[in-house]
Structure 1
Amino acid sequence: MTRTTRAGRAAAALLLLTACGTGAPTPLAGPGTGAEPSSPIRGMRPALVVGSGSHEVLVHPHTYCWHEGEQGVCSDGNPTEPYADLGVADEVGIRFDRSGWTFSAYAVPAGDRCGRIRPTPVWAEGKGWRLLPAGPAGAYDVSLSGRGPQGDVQAVFRLTTTLDRPEPAAEALVSSFWQSSEGPTVAAIGIGFRHLRSTPDEASGRVSITSGDGTARTLPLVEPRPEQGDPCPHIPGSLWLRADVPGATSRDSVDARPLFGEPPYRHRVEVVLDGARHVAETSWPDGLDAEGNYLDLAFSPPLPGL
């Protein structure tokens, strides 16, 4: 019973996409007994336990969609302070009393919801999960998202790290075509940039798409105006460029074939960020991610990161 729209997935891709854990972190001590998750069936509100060593705290999701058997409930909310505070933790264990779930996370500086976003690797370990904070030592608010057979959850907790860890590499992805039951559709073409050294003062570009039947079309890329009411219109190190598609809107897609020809669609993206030109190529649908939503871009020269 998930409610993620395509627009929501685009935002998630730009803001929430996290790296998978690599390597084997130092094992933590076993879970403590100071906190127990409340039953997801009781009041239909799931809960998680996060911990470090023997210290654990209970974290209640601010947004969730949950169903078991014939019962189900969805609740959309915003995170509110004070958040559950784990204290000092350089590695975090996660407990959740359901199987078949996956989790992802990102962190921002504590108290700054519009601060630089850092992906926080999460991986399954034993009967739970492990989370490894990234970036320099400091206090962070960690946004944790989970998805499984019963639905999905989103929650926030706070921690303080003591170790300096590497910054994530600058990267970019494309949201363009969508495979419907009647064929490829398109609403707009968006390029999301994350983990840049800084947000460019000037950004422009173009995307050229060539189809399998030789149809070619080039569209300009521009930075769209922030949506009214957007609480975080400018996030350090992040950028969103968009190419409008004739006849479509950001919410209403159209059949892609009259405009772009028959798939596959080869993308050539050229951007100029503060005077520096970067070029990347990819193809739809061959280059799609595991969930079939986005295309990764490998620019030359590489994007400027921290």
Structure 2
Amino acid sequence: MPSRAVIIGGTGQVGLATARRLIGDGWDVQVVSRGATAVPDGCWHIEADARDADGLHAIVGTDTDLLLSCVAFDALDAGCLVHAGRSAGRIVAISSASVYCDNQARTLDEAARGGFPSFSVPLTEQSPTIPPGPETYSTRKRAMEALLLGKSACPVTILRPCAIHGPESKHAREWWFVKRLLDGRAVIPLAYEGRSRFQTTSVAAIADAVVKAVAGDLPEIANVSDADSPSVVEIGRAIMAIMGVKAELVGLSDDPDFPPSHGLTPWSVSQPMIVRGAATSATRYAEAAAPAVHWLVECVTSANWTQILPQLAAYKNAHFDYEKEDLVVITSECIHFP
């Protein structure tokens, strides 16, 4: 008899990637979301609310080996999972590496106001975290983790990815480079000399981690990351190689502020955030990024990108102010990479 998985919030990039992986491994997969939608071949869709604990419990029943939540954001979500999954074989919840803090208790949430955290890197599962609470995204994620680990009747695994990349994302950071290359930009300026390192995590690595968690091969909390932590220059070069297009990447002199004034990419940070842990992948970013890049080239255009990528579009800065970029390149001291 095949193993059975219920994936809550399964129509996003993490849920879809994991569903496809489990289906390929012979699992019976049911995807739960609030609205009717297309799902991968080989799995079933159930329309339900992630906070309808009784309704979820009826779906999970007593024969579910894996209850995976991709949309557990706070203690209320965790309480619903505890109730719904009390007879499940294992609960896996997607959290975030944003729960880690530096020695001054700064997290990513306060970076724009109080400066980017100065982490002791690499961050591991033993690194300090922000206290749980209702105040910010990161404190709510910690509250979710704490309640699940403390109250669940079945085994729990918490996965902490960082900058997630993969197809079907609403926050596809790779579009920052892909659109410029499609638009024929010859020179691309990068803040912080292009040396920023903001840990990447592929959806394939997350799916692998879910499989390992179900097998009991991970601890209760596991960081999920690519094998490397590429700099922005390395990310740009990887995307160019995938697309078969070249542009000149130039590094702008260090900007003391965060966010920087010019050359701001979705990975631009003044201090490195490098993550390693129990679910670090064996695959490097340059090898793992192709599915996201190909999906962007095939499905996203200059006309529709804000609708397809609403989370990326919600950034306060203008991603594609080419006139400003050209002026910066002409007037600023730049590092020209070989």
Same fold (TM over 0.5): no
Q: What TM-score, normalized by structure 1, do the two folds share?
A: 0.26
Structure ranking higher on relative contact order (CA contacts 8 Å, 6+ apart): 2
More strand by share: 1
